[in-house]
Amino acid sequence: MSWLVAITEHVIVAIDAFALITVIIGTVEAFMVMLRGVVRPIEREARWHTYANYGRWLVAGLTFQLAADILETSITTTWQAVARLGAVAAIRTFLNYFLERDLSTARERRGREATP
């Protein structure tokens, strides 16, 4: 059974690394677009696309982190650690939910503005 815990711990680290890489890539991409916006103004459509794309990167990163939390909960041995992981998972779930909702609302608003 200890081999399973050891493997799970390595998988958790790998998934957390995926989450970190995902957020970094999205952040660098959004930063570069906004940095170009300092030199020349960004059109409203391009700005919206950048924010929406960045939101998708963040949702993906949060999803990876939540997966790592779920695995970590399965090998945790104390109730205090389970409670901490549960609180972190709940916060990430709420962040993910509201970010997805905001993206969906922005998409709907954008669709209404585009149709005459």
Q: What is the pLDDT of residues 43-66, one digit of tens each?
A: 877 888 888 889 889 888 988 988
- pTM of the complete model beyond 0.85: no
Q: Which amino acid is at 107?
A: R
What's the pLDDT score for residue 27?
97
Q: What is the pLDDT of residues 71-114, one digit of tens each?
A: 888 888 788 878 887 888 788 788 878 888 887 887 787 778 77
Rounded distance between C-alpha atoms, residue 30 and residue 32, angstroms:
5
Is the predicted pLDDT of residue 116 greater than 70, yes or no? no
Closest-CA residue to 30 (of 6, 58, 5, 68): 58
Measuring CA to CA, how many Å separate 52 from each of 4, 12, 68, 99, 106? 39, 28, 25, 10, 8
Domain spans, the chain: 2-114
